[in-house]
């Protein structure tokens, strides 16, 4: 029975992915900054571990407790919509610490075990906003694009050791708490320079219609990456992400 470790499992894409793999009889290590026992069904195939991807000691403890990992899913992340000029240095560092540096650090911690066993899959969940420029998400987009870039280089480095690397790129989801979390970091709507632009941009985003991304879309994309050796490097998840990928030529 294979083991998958997933970050950011308290809600959203991580939670849906954990449920998806549990339902298919995988051993699931669901990690959260603040562990909760009430979000996933208890059972012999589930372990919930504390993990803060921005804390080196937390990463070391979680990887040691997890034991052999067949699939790593780097899903933890957050957004903070604002014009670049109004984004504080602290927010920039926080976005990169969680979305980029945390992903790198956890991957580095897991790779030696996979390499030693001659097998493994790393799935990095980024974002479809990397397919095209959008206002207010420049730093978040940059942090996720950085993950795309290092993942593609890493894929060539680890392929000789039997390790595959994939990117899952979700679209916009109203099912998860990501939007609510991003709203808590929203800054600048009352700014005398950018306020009107921000309010107009946010209104246009909220007025967008059409199918978006369901949490289950991401879970299914991660399942494909974990189990299908012929899966592409980049897997858009959700109808909107698939459309954006097609517009970008699948880049």
Report the SS3 class of residue 70.
coil
> How far is residue 119's CA from residue 164's CA, in Å, rounded to a whole number?
8
At residue 58's C-alpha, the angle toward residues 170 and 66, to 5°, is: 75
The CA-based dihedral angle spanning residues 15, 20, 124, 72, taken in that order and rounded to the nearest 10 degrees:
100
Tell me what the mean pLDDT of segment 78-83 comes to: 90
- Sequence-distant (6+) residues with CB within 8 A of 103 are 53, 74, 76, 124, 147
Per-residue pLDDT reduced to its tens digit, 8-57: 999 999 999 999 999 999 999 999 999 988 899 999 999 999 999 999 99
Tell me what the mean pLDDT of segment 158-182 comes to: 78
Per-residue pLDDT reduced to its tens digit, 34-43: 998 889 999 9
Average pLDDT, the chain: 91
Report the SS3 class of residue 83.
coil
> How far is residue 195's CA from residue 47's CA, in Å, rounded to a whole number?
45
Q: Is pLDDT of 185 > 60? A: no
Q: For the chain, give the number of residues.
A: 251
Partners of 169 in the β-ladder: 236
103 in Cβ contact with 124 (< 8 Å):
yes
- Sequence-distant (6+) residues with CB within 8 A of 148 are 124, 126, 130, 167, 234
pLDDT at residue number 207: 63
**Cα dihedral across residues 115, 119, 125, 128: positive or negative:** positive
Chain centroid, CA 80 distance in Å:
15
pLDDT at residue number 186: 59
Report the SS3 class of residue 11.
coil
pLDDT-derived band at 182 (thresholds 50, 70, 90) equals: very low
Tell me what the mean pLDDT of segment 70-99 comes to: 95
pLDDT at residue number 44: 95
Query: Tokens for 21?
Result: 């793999």
Chain position carrying tokens 């989801």 = 173
pLDDT at residue number 174: 59
> How far is residue 30's CA from residue 50's CA, in Å, rounded to a whole number?
9
Q: Give, for 95, the enclosing helix (H) or strand (E).
A: helix 89-96
| DSSP state letter for 54 | T
pLDDT-derived band at 209 (thresholds 50, 70, 90) equals: low
Model pTM above 0.75: yes
pLDDT at residue number 126: 98
* Domains of the chain with CATH codes: 3-247 (3.40.50.720)
189 in Cβ contact with 203 (< 8 Å):
no
Q: Is pLDDT of 160 > 80? A: yes
Q: Is pLDDT of 175 > 60? A: no
Positions annotated as catalytic residues are 140
């Amino acid at each position: 029975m294979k083991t998958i470790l997933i970050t950011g499992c308290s809600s959203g894409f991580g939670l849906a992915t954990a449920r998806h793999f549990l339902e298919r009889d995988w051993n699931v290590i669901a990690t959260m900054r603040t562990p909760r026992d009430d979000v996933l069904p208890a059972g012999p195939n589930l372990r919930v571990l504390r993990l803060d991807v921005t804390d080196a000691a937390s990463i070391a403890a979680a990887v040691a407790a997890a034991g052999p990992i067949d699939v790593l899913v780097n899903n933890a992340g957050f957004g903070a919509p604002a014009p670049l000029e109004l984004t504080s240095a602290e927010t920039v560092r926080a976005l990169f610490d969680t979305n980029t540096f945390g992903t790198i650090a956890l991957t580095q911690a897991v790779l030696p075990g996979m390499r030693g066993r001659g097998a493994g899959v790393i799935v990095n969940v980024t974002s479809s906003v990397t397919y095209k420029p959008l206002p207010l998400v420049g730093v978040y987009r940059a942090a996720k694009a950085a993950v795309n870039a290092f993942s593609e280089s890493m894929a060539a480095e680890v392929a000789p050791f039997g390790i595959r690397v994939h990117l899952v790129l979700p679209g916009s989801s109203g099912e998860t708490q990501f939007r609510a979390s991003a709203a808590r970091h929203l800054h600048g709507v009352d700014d005398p320079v950018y306020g009107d632009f921000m309010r107009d941009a946010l209104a246009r985003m909220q007025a967008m219609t059409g199918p978006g991304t369901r949490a289950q879309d991401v879970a299914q994309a991660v399942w494909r990456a974990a189990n299908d050796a012929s899966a592409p490097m980049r897997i858009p998840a959700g109808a909107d992400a698939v459309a954006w990928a097609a517009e970008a030529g699948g880049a």
